[in-house]
Amino acid sequence: MRFLLTSLWLLSSTAFGASVTDDLGRQVTVASPAQRIITLSPHSTEFIRELGITDRLVAAANDGKSLPATTQVISGYGALDREWLLSKQPDLVIAWGSGNRSQDIAWLTENKIPTFVSEPASLKAIADTLIKLGKLTDSQIHAQQASDQFLHNLQQACPTAVNEQEVHIVIWDQPAMTLGGEHWLNELLEKAHFKNTWQHIKRMVFTIEREAAMNKQTIAQVDLRQGQTASEKRFVSEHLNRPSPSLALGLKELCEQRRN
């Protein structure tokens, strides 16, 4: 009887197995908590940072903050070096749906490397991603705390009500690029009481004619380019460029600029 009880305890303590659904609707399964993680985008690296497990990153796209000395920093863009990736022996890869090549994602799947494709389409999806990655890494408690904190920070970012203001979102100027109504950033802008002047265009990111961009100079801008300075008609934040928990800080900065 004692042997049976001991055996059952060992099975329950070692059995893990976790499955989640990624942002492409694919099932991602790990047999044990992921310990050798590779992130292929800055926002994916930030998710792992929020979980407090950067020590498990064998390679990571640079998110602008320091990483462990044992982590190889990579660009995450362009074609995947498949031979290099296999040499790292990852047990979880976090890919970027719109930033990594579809053929590389397919190759990862074909080689039975657990791959979570991240492409959050909403603020809630960002919170949900924390929970899902927490499950794959056996970091559920920390993941739930990080998810709750992100949603709380979004709620508290704009305590003062202001009138709605139409804005032109500047991504790039040569060529002139902006966001349409299908981009996830619109949801965040609405919380700051901004209305994207191109929201009626059912696209994510698109190029506009120079003349059209110049015509929008009479309204306020949310400028996503690096190194810009806030002014009466220009709102900026370096925390608006990736779908990650740092968006809450970007929202707070926008609302503070609106009040000033």
pLDDT tens for the chain, 260 residues long, are 554 444 444 444 446 689 999 999 999 999 999 999 999 999 999 999 999 999 999 999 999 999 999 999 998 777 899 999 999 999 999 999 989 999 999 999 999 999 999 999 999 999 999 999 999 999 999 999 999 999 999 999 998 878 899 999 999 888 889 999 999 999 999 999 999 999 999 999 999 887 777 777 778 999 999 889 998 889 999 999 999 999 999 999 999 998 87
User: CA-based angle 147:151:155, to the nearest 5?
Assistant: 165
Tell me the DSSP string of the chain.
-HHHHHHHHHHHHH---EEEE-TTS-EEEESS---SEEESSHHHHHHHHHHT-GGGEEEEE--SS---TTSEEE---SS--HHHHHHH--SEEEEETTTS-HHHHHHHHHTT--EEEE---SHHHHHHHHHHHHHHTT-HHHHHHHHHHHHHHHHHS--S----EEEEEESEETTEEEE-TTSTHHHHHHHTTEEETTTTS--SEEE--HHHHHHGGGSEEEE-STT---BTTEEE-TTSSSSSTTHHHHHHHHHHHHH-
The reported pLDDT for the residue numbered 16 is 64
Q: How far is CA 139 from the centre of its chain?
A: 18
Residue 8: predicted pLDDT: 44
Q: What is the pLDDT of residues 64-115, one digit of tens each?
A: 999 999 999 998 777 899 999 999 999 999 999 989 999 999 999 999 999 9
Residue 162 forms beta bridges with which residues? Answer: none
Q: What confidence score (pLDDT) does residue 161 get? A: 77
Q: Between the CA of residue 217 and those of 88, 211, 244, what are the distances in Å?
A: 49, 10, 29
pLDDT of residue 87: 96
Give the model confidence (pLDDT) of 1-23 as tens digits: 554 444 444 444 446 689 999 99
Domains, the chain, in order of start with CATH, read 13-155 (3.40.50.1980), 165-259 (3.40.50.1980)
Residue 185 CB partners (closer than 8 Å, separation 6+): 169, 179, 240
pTM for this predicted structure: 0.89
Distance, in Å, from the CA atom of 95 to the CA atom of 29, rounded to the nearest integer, reads: 15
Share above pLDDT 70 across residues of the chain, in percent, rounded to a whole number: 94
In the prediction, which pLDDT does 209 show? 85
Total Cβ atoms within 10 A of residue 116: 25
Bridge-based pairing state of the strands 176-179 and 172-173: antiparallel
Contact call for residues 53 and 105 (beta carbons, < 8 A): no
Ordered DSSP codes for 59-118: EEE--SS---TTSEEE---SS--HHHHHHH--SEEEEETTTS-HHHHHHHHHTT--EEEE
Model pLDDT, residue 168: 93
